[in-house]
Chains A and B, each alone.
Chain A
Amino acid sequence: MSKLLKRALKISLTPAILMVAGKFLGILIPTLMFDIEFAVQNEMIGISSIQILYPNSATTLFINSISNLVMLVLIAVPTIYLIIKTSLYQSTLQNPRTIVKITKLNILNWITKKNSSFLQIFIWSSFLLVTASIIIVHTIQNMTYTWIGVSSGVMAFFCIWGTIRTFELEIAKIYPEEKNYY
């Protein structure tokens, strides 16, 4: 089995768990916090085998929105962190001014190659894309607040852009542009 595949499997586990945990906690916490009545039903409806039922549509909208927001934050924050970290790391290699800025901000220890690679960013961004797609579909179906749908769309867009930018930087290491030699 290739090392790339092994690594991809290893990296994918964390966002997969976080995605489900985020949704679950996002339902559980507000339900307990606001003491909202709910019920669980097991019935095959399409691909859905379990249904969490709330007494009215306003409560359902609130709970679904909060759970989607928690899920989005849990996936988006590490993705953005990885993209920024890798971009800064790559930038320090090419631009001495970045090193000066980072030294001034005293975050030199933070900018390391450790635990950040294009594969990791790609997988986390893919999970963010899946999460954002679910949230956008829910927003179109009026099952989530519009601002959460818009936020997820914007985050997904910037993370895709960040992933492409990281890919370009990685490629530039292998095939440097000619102008860099002069």
Chain B
Amino acid sequence: METRKEKTKRIFGQILEPFALGLLALLFILPAITVINLTPITNELKKLNVLGVTTQGDVVINLVGGSHEIFTEEILNKIDDEGYDYSVRLNKRGADSYSKPILKIENRTEEAAKIFFFGQTLTNTNSTISMIIDKEHFMIQNSKGETFDNEIEILPGQNITLFLALENLSGVQFSEIFDLSIKIR
């Protein structure tokens, strides 16, 4: 004869059984999903830099971000305390001029900061690449592929936005990577 306690235990066990089966399935699914989640990636690294990076001297460099048809895959990496690398993919384009705000630089120190720029593309597509800061153009690479060093000064508390400008007289049918080295002193 089944006692009341045994009966309750049996019914409780029957109710629990489907949940236990679900739990068993979860024990297989959850580690698999966790492992997939923990898989490291590189292609989303650009998002790491959206919030900006700060130097020891408190000169803050931020990616402006946003989407653009020609300028894509923007990445800003800190190399050391004073150096940064910015890269962008310049997609295939027609003969025209294009520009996009790429970086915001803020000098939070009490002294003026000097910023040095040097940039180039791996292949020469007869495009002129320049930087526009406060309506002033700074040539980075001319249509012959020659590169130029540039230096700007940011006053204490000053905020500047860097625009990358691109001009080509004929259409470019493939994409290319443009790298820009930034040094803060």
Contact = CB atoms under 8 A, between A and B. Distances in A.
B17 interface: yes
Interface residues of B, number: 28
A9 B23 contact: yes
Contacts of B44: 41, 43, 45, 51, 53
B27 interface: yes
A16 B17 contact: no
A33 interface: no
Contacts of B17: 1-2, 5
A20 B42 CA distance: 21
B31 A5 contact: no
B51 to A, nearest CB: 10
Contact of B36 (A1, A27, A47, A53): A47
A39 B76 CA distance: 13
A73 B104 CA distance: 47
Contacts of A134: 32, 35-36
A41 to B, nearest CB: 6
Interface string B6-26: 000000011011001101100
A53 B39 contact: no
Nearest to B27: A12
Nearest to B78: A37
A38 interface: yes
A24 B27 CA distance: 17
A25 B7 CA distance: 47
A127 B28 contact: yes
A5 B21 contact: yes
Interface in A56-76: 56-57, 59-60, 63-64, 67, 71
28 contacts: A1-B14, A1-B20, A5-B17, A5-B20, A5-B24, A9-B20, A9-B23, A13-B27, A16-B28, A16-B30, A20-B31, A20-B34, A20-B38, A23-B34, A38-B40, A47-B33, A49-B37, A50-B38, A53-B42, A53-B47, A55-B45, A60-B40, A60-B41, A60-B42, A64-B40, A67-B38, A127-B28, A143-B39
Contact of A41 (B27, B32, B35, B47): B47
Contacts of B31: 15-17, 19-20, 127, 130
* Contact-residue bracket for chain A: 35 or more
B28 A12 contact: yes
Q: Is the interface of A mostly helix, strand, loop or mixed?
A: helix
A138 B24 contact: no
B137 to A, nearest CB: 31
B23 A126 contact: no
Nearest to A64: B40
B38 A52 contact: yes
Nearest to A71: B35
A143 B32 CA distance: 16
A48 B37 contact: yes
